[in-house]
Structure 1
Amino acid sequence: MADCIVLGAGMVGVSTALALQAKGRSVVLVDRRGAGEETSYGNAGIIQGEAVEPYAFPRDLGSMVSIALKRGNEVNWNLTSLPNWAAPVLRYFRHSSPARYKTISQTYSQLIHRATADHAPLIQASGSDNLIQREGFRQVFRTPKRMEEGARTAERLHEAYGVGISIETASELKAAEPNLRRDLQGAVRWTEPWTCSSPGGLTANYARLFEERGGRFVSGDATTLEQAASGWRVKTDDGVIEASDVVVALGPWSPELLKRFNYRIPMLFKRGYHRHYHGGKSPTVAIMDAENAAIIAPMIAGSRVLTGAELTHFDAAPALRQLNRAENSIRELFDLGEPVENEPWWGNRPCMPDMLPVVGAARRYKGLWFNFGHGHQGFTLGPTTAALLADKMAGEGDNALVDRLSLER
């Protein structure tokens, strides 16, 4: 019998399996698909060492009107799905008040400050240095007003948290990004983040490392989870697996599973889209077009163009409004070439209303543990929350920090 089952082989689940393994636990990793083939595949590939403050809900009138009227590209929403997301969004709005947001950011920044350091040994041990670039990424600005606002925010974060920044003028940006097709006002280069040319590939490499170190990765159905005399069991292609402990690390699928155990998780799903393009000219590092909420990230598969957030049904058909607008805006900046895929990728970011992940024990059930709800930063924070959870399960580490991430917070 294994000591522990980890459900979910995204960045968070794979990192959790590795962290528990490093504590001497016998771990079985279970997923219906291969490692890094769901939400962990679809992100911008940025280990965001600068993201010390989570994405808050805009509270100024101008931004709220823009979202309500769908004027910008940051947020799209589906009216028919309003009953699904209205309550979590209201909680999200409340937690974004200045006083609450300040307290949340104090905790969040502690996690972010560890992110690259927690990834570093796994990158090295898994032989993944060829996927990593340590040159940061850029936010570029089209108008003087947005450039001034962006620079002011960067300088504030530098002063408050020590985040590394470089404010680039229009000429400095053009020299750094010779493939730019038009003049811009300038850029903020965030110097601490690392970028990855294959987020799914890095997650798969971590999973391979887990297996090389003696772990088992099996195909199975997390929805078959149930209590057993020995603790917990789940059905897999290798038969029934039993263990004393189980970790739910299923990202956006975690709330549906936990309904069976009488948990109602108020998760907000922010859908994102991407598509790859080849035959054009990429930027030297990932670039965010601030005014259009679009990102272009150089990847092995081509230049990946990514969108902001969509509020819709979990399984709703794709709505390409944001991706089309993102593509158009990025084409103004770079020669994208032609699409690689006929259909874009889309997936759901698992966001908690207070913007903090859920990490720790399920107080109602012995041996049931949580590690999900990382929002925009599962790829960034997977190894960090995994290490915190592994310490908690071993009775070690910073219990005060983990307690601030518990479901009962």
Structure 2
Amino acid sequence: MAEILVLGAGMVGVSTALALQARGHAVSLVDRSAPGRETSFGNAGIIQAEAAEPYGLPRDLGTLWSMVSGRSNDVTWSLRGVTQMAPALWSYFRQSAPRRHAEISRTYAQLTARATQDHAPLVEAAGAGNLIARQGMVQLYRDRAAFDADAAEAERLRRDYGVRHRALSGEDYRREDPALLRDPAGIIHWTDSWSCSAPGCLVHSYAKLFASRGGRLLEGDAASLRHSAHGWTVNTVAQAVEAEHAIVALGPWSPTLLRRFGYRIPMIYKRGYHGHFETPRPPLRPIVDMDNGVVAGQMRAGLRIATGAALVTRKAPADLRQLDRGRAALSDMLEIGARVDEPQWSGTRPCLPDMLPLVGAAPRHQRLWFHFGHGHQGFTLGPTTGALLAAAIDGEETALSRALAPAHRL
């Protein structure tokens, strides 16, 4: 048994703490706020078993121009944000080349294939089944040509990775989901994905499970991490806490902390927003509006509309263009009422240029471990990569864990 500090209580950190605890380790989970209150709180709430291939940076000139010119609602940007991230974005562009992206996807698909089965025992043990729907998610198309192209691509994903789906006409799917106001050109229903009606509450439920099993939940400052006589120490509100191992699972804040230890980790910071809206007829399943770059799904707080990526600086003021455009565009398909009065949420997806999370030992520091960079899929993959990291700490190595390890990637 080892004593281990886990820094960061989002889905990735909490799942890591549970995986280590299940192996008999004494774990302290440290965060400046309550579990699941940062990026894990505001995502679209989908455990994306269908996401066998990570989101690459588009390379065709038409799509890139639509982003640069501001016509696309998938991505917005600022000159300062793009300038600051330019080296990471260039690397991301290169890694998104077809051959390299295919190599990355062969690793990535092994993670998403396990996502729901790794969440399942935690959902059950945490008594959180009421938060989970197992009816999949849909991609909605207004353009027939785009639907036909993506339906062919979905069939390729089925052949290559076993990802299951249905491709339906808009007329057929509207009979299935009466929330739709008119027939889309078509939909792709990914049947194996799950959705969650309160992502932050699911993380909190996992954290309560961790505490009920004897884990320590501590409020503290991850930036205070330092070497100590027996390993690593971090300051908490009550006292300094020492452990043999320390795991950095701070999502987008991880590179800032690790810079003090000499690591320069390139990251693309993709900001997203959400808003909740009243609706008399929520959709049967979460809907990805493929024409307008937003996701709509029913949450406890109302119909949540979540946006794509904003490439801006970390301190840039809120810009709700994507949310406002998405809400207006979706109104032709869903009956969307007044916005729920609540503080405006935004969060940052921590994306690495090679699109894989960093999971494993720090290259130059003993008993320091990295677990971040999940991009769009931290909520999906937290339990899976948490189990891989826990195994690595216990000395177990697989081809998959080697592919995610920092040693050959930094």
Alignment of 1:210-229 (within 5 A): 210-229=210-229
SS at match of 1:205: helix
**Residues in 2 aligned to 1:291 and 1:381: alpha-carbon distance in whole angstroms:** 26
Q: CA deviation at 1:85?
A: 1.5
Structure 2 partner of 1:337: 337
**Residues in 1 aligned to 2:9 and 2:66: alpha-carbon distance in whole angstroms:** 37
Q: CA deviation at 1:333?
A: 1.2
**Residues in 1 aligned to 2:259 and 2:341: alpha-carbon distance in whole angstroms:** 36
CA RMSD of aligned residues (A): 1.2
Structure 2 partner of 1:15: 15
Structure 2 partner of 1:323: 323
Contact 2:274-2:345 at 8 Å conserved across structures? yes
Q: Aligned letter for 1:19?
A: A
SS at match of 1:281: coil
Q: CA deviation at 1:2?
A: 7.2
SS at match of 1:70: coil
Q: CA deviation at 1:146?
A: 1.3
Q: CA deviation at 1:83?
A: 2.2
Q: CA deviation at 1:344?
A: 2.7
Contact 1:89-1:268 at 8 Å conserved across structures? yes
Structure 2 partner of 1:69: 69
Q: Aligned letter for 2:304?
A: R
Contact 2:50-2:163 at 8 Å conserved across structures? yes
Q: Does residue 38 of structure 2 align to residue 38 of structure 1?
A: yes
Contact 1:146-1:291 at 8 Å conserved across structures? no
**Residues in 2 aligned to 1:93 and 1:279: alpha-carbon distance in whole angstroms:** 39
**Residues in 2 aligned to 1:261 and 1:167: alpha-carbon distance in whole angstroms:** 50
**Residues in 1 aligned to 2:190 and 2:88: alpha-carbon distance in whole angstroms:** 31
Structure 2 partner of 1:349: 349
Structure 2 partner of 1:314: 314
Q: Aligned letter for 2:142?
A: R
SS at match of 1:404: helix
Gap regions ≥5 residues in structure 1: none
Contact 1:275-1:341 at 8 Å conserved across structures? no
**Residues in 2 aligned to 1:276 and 1:244: alpha-carbon distance in whole angstroms:** 43
Structure 1 partner of 2:368: 368
Structure 2 partner of 1:55: 55
Contact 1:2-1:28 at 8 Å conserved across structures? no
Contact 2:248-2:369 at 8 Å conserved across structures? yes
TM-score w.r.t. the length of structure 1 is: 0.98
**Residues in 2 aligned to 1:36 and 1:382: alpha-carbon distance in whole angstroms:** 12
**Residues in 1 aligned to 2:341 and 2:397: alpha-carbon distance in whole angstroms:** 45
**Residues in 1 aligned to 2:296 and 2:45: alpha-carbon distance in whole angstroms:** 11
**Residues in 1 aligned to 2:59 and 2:294: alpha-carbon distance in whole angstroms:** 21
Q: Aligned letter for 1:401?
A: L
SS at match of 2:257: helix
Identity %: 51
Q: CA deviation at 1:354?
A: 0.5
**Residues in 1 aligned to 2:312 and 2:280: alpha-carbon distance in whole angstroms:** 32
**Residues in 1 aligned to 2:41 and 2:292: alpha-carbon distance in whole angstroms:** 23
Structure 2 partner of 1:405: 404
Structure 1 stretch displaced more, 273-282 or 224-233: 273-282
Q: CA deviation at 1:64?
A: 1.1
Structure 1 stretch displaced more, 277-286 or 387-396: 277-286
Q: CA deviation at 1:127?
A: 0.2
Query: In the TM superposition, what whole-angstrom CA distance separates every residue of 1:48-104 from its partner, at most 9, and x where no partner exists?
Result: 000000000111111111111111111100012232111111110000001110100
Query: In the TM superposition, what whole-angstrom CA distance separates every residue of 1:147-195 from its partner, at most 9, and x where no partner exists?
Result: 1122111111111111110111122111111011122111000000011
Query: In the TM superposition, what whole-angstrom CA distance separates every residue of 1:209-263 from its partner, at most 9, and x where no partner exists?
Result: 0000000001000000000001000000120000000000000000000011010
**Residues in 2 aligned to 1:54 and 1:264: alpha-carbon distance in whole angstroms:** 23
Q: CA deviation at 1:145?
A: 1.1
**Residues in 2 aligned to 1:359 and 1:289: alpha-carbon distance in whole angstroms:** 32
Structure 2 partner of 1:385: 385
**Residues in 2 aligned to 1:144 and 1:366: alpha-carbon distance in whole angstroms:** 55
SS at match of 1:261: coil
Alignment of 1:49-128 (within 5 A): 49-128=49-128
**Residues in 1 aligned to 2:68 and 2:205: alpha-carbon distance in whole angstroms:** 42
Contact 2:279-2:303 at 8 Å conserved across structures? no
Q: Aligned letter for 1:309?
A: A
**Residues in 2 aligned to 1:315 and 1:120: alpha-carbon distance in whole angstroms:** 37
Runs of 4+ in 1 over 6 A off after TM superposition: none
